[in-house]
Amino acid sequence: MLSTVGRALRNSSTPKTLFVGTRCASTEATFEVAQCKLHKLEQGPATTVTCTREDALKYYRQMQTIRRMETTAGNLYKSKQIRGFCHLYSGQEACCVGMENSITPEDSVITAYRAHGWAYIRGISVHGVLAELIGKKTGCAQGKGGSMHMYAKNFYGGNGIVGAQVPLGAGIAFTQKYLNNGNICITLYGDGAANQGQVYEAFNIAMLWKLPCIFVCENNGYGMGTSVERASYSTDYYTRGDYMPGLRVDGMDVLAVKEATRFAKDYVLKNGPLLIECATYRYSGHSMSDPGTSYRTREEIQEVRQTRDPITSFKQKLLETNLVTEDEMKKIDQDVRKEVTESEKLAIADTGPPLEDMYDHIYVQPEADFKVRTCDPVTMVASR
C-alpha cells in the first residue's frame, strides 16, 4: 500500500481508458490521458493525445536510455568509480522526455542537481554524462562538474544549491523576452525546494514582467527523506504560485507531460509564466548515500514500479494499439544496453583532467596574463 507517497501521486487521476482509437494502426494512434488539475485557468491541456509510430519509438528509446544510464551510474558509484554526490533520475524519465519533445533546441532549460536525465535529453551523449560522473576529461564539463554540474547549449545545469536555479531561470526568460526571440525557459525544482523563499521572489518578478517561463515542480513525493505531507502545509504545489496560473499533470505519463508542456509553452508566450506540478516518483534514494527505505517501505516502491512505471506503462499502451511490435521494442532494449555498456567502458578508460587545468575555465576569455588566487592567499596561478 502507498502510505506516504504523497498527495501528488494520489491526486493524479489515472485514465480509465488508455487507448481511444487509431487512424492508421501502423503509423499513428490516439490515447486518452488524465485530465490535469487546474488553478486560475479556464481550460487546460487536451485529454487526448495523438502519437505517431516514429515518435512513440523515439520516446521509448529516450526513456529506456535514461533508465539504463542511471542504473549504470548507480553501479559505478557502488564500485567507487564515481565519488561525491550522485542523484539518480530513475522513475522520473517521463518528465524530461515529455517536456523536451514539446519544446525546441532554442528553448532553454535549467534544473536542480538531479540532472543526468535532463543533460542527456538536452543533447549530451551517454558517454559525456558517464565520463563527467567519473571525473574524466571527456565528460561534458571536462570532469570538473560531476553529477550536479552538467551543461549543454541552452541547458544551464545542474545546480547544487536548493532552489537557487529558480531565479536564474527567471533571468533566462527575461533575456528571451528582451530579445523577443519567441523562445521560453523551463525552470525546474523539486518539492523539497518548493518552500524556499527565492522561489517566490522569482514568481513575483516573473509575473510582474510577464516572462515566458514555465516553472515546473517535479514532485516525487519526498524532499530528501521527508514526505511532502511532513514538509509542506499545502501539497497542492500547482496552486502555490498564488496569483500565477498552474496545473498538475501525471508525471508518470510521457504523453500527458508532452501535451501539458505544449499547452504551457503556448500559454507563457502569450500571457506570461505558468506553474506545472509534475506528479512523479523516484525509485532510488535522494542520493546514493540514502538507501531510500528508512522513510518508505519497499512495498511502496514496488507498487509504483508495477502500476505506474513510465516506461512499462508506455510500452503497454503501444503494444495494445499495435503501434509497435514486441520485437521492435526488444531491439531498442538491446541497442540501448549496448550503447550504455560501450559508453561505460569508454568513460572508465578515459583519462582525468590534468592538474594544470585545475584553475582554468573560471572566467570567460580571460586576458593572457590573468591569474587567480589559490587556497593559499598569497599564491597566484595562471587561469585560462
Q: What digits encode the pLDDT tens for the residues 209-260?
A: 999 999 999 999 999 999 999 999 999 999 999 999 999 999 999 999 999 9
Q: What digits encode the pLDDT tens for the residues 308-358?
A: 999 999 999 999 999 999 999 999 999 999 999 999 999 999 999 998 888
Is pLDDT at 24 greater than 70 in this prediction?
no
CA 300 – CA 39 distance, rounded (Å)? 29
Q: What digits encode the pLDDT tens for the residues 116-142?
A: 999 999 999 999 999 999 999 999 999
Q: What digits encode the pLDDT tens for the residues 65-88?
A: 999 999 999 999 999 999 989 999
| pTM for this entry | 0.91
Is residue 150 a contact partner of residue 129, using CB atoms and an 8 Å limit? yes
Give the chain's domains with CATH numbers.
65-307+345-353 (3.40.50.970), 356-384 (no CATH)
Which residues, in sequence order, are bridge partners of residue 38? 247
